[in-house]
Amino acid sequence: MVDPSRQETLRRAIELLFFGYREFTDRPDRILERRGLGRVHHRILYFVGRNPAVSVKGLLEILAVSKQALSVPLRQLTEMKLVAVLAGTSDRRVKRLVLTPEGRRLEADLTGTQMRRLSAAFEAAGDDDEAGWMRVMERLARTELQPSSPAGAA
């Protein structure tokens, strides 16, 4: 049994994550919408930008989706000349993906809104809080939870 006031804190945290994440994705989503694109397109642009010359397989592992789910949006982005494929590497089976200048522009536009939002929150909260936020998020993003207690133990 968990301390009730601790529970209250944890539930506030859950809600902050829910509403925070929704706010966080809202603006990019609306920019994408104007071009008929979705959140996956942003993710592709983002991670190709962050990992230049990444392979399709590498992207699949980062995004954790099926290759069929990646294939369509990725093709759209290459057709729109936002993502380019580098030829002639050592292993010719592997495609190396990069952003085109135009792709970089859109990515900067999309991610820029998120960086500004984060930046505003960090500045308002101060450096210590920013550092604390990062440390907590690092745990949150990496923590594997132990196999949950056999149904209904709560």
CB of 149 to DNA, least distance (A): 25
Angle between helices 56-63 and 67-79 in degrees, nearest 10: 120
The dihedral sign for the CA sequence 49, 69, 141, 115: positive
84 binds, among DNA, a copy of itself, none (CB under 5 to 8 A by kind): none
Pick one of a copy of itself, DNA, none as the site partner of residue 23 (Cβ within 5 to 8 A by kind): a copy of itself
Please identify which residue in 72, 85, 86, 140 interacts with a copy of itself, judged by CB under 8 A: 140
Contact 85/91 with Cβ under 8 angstroms? no
Size of the site for a copy of itself (CB under 8 A): 62
Residues 61-100 that bind DNA (CB under 7 A): 64-69, 71-75, 85, 90-95
Give the number of other Cβ atoms within 10 Å of residue 64's Cβ: 7
CA dihedral 75, 80, 83, 88 (to 10 degrees): 80
Q: Looking at 61, 85, 86, 112, which residue binds a copy of itself (CB under 8 A)?
A: 112
- The verdict on 22 binding a copy of itself (CB under 8 A) reads yes
81 binds a copy of itself (CB under 8 A): no
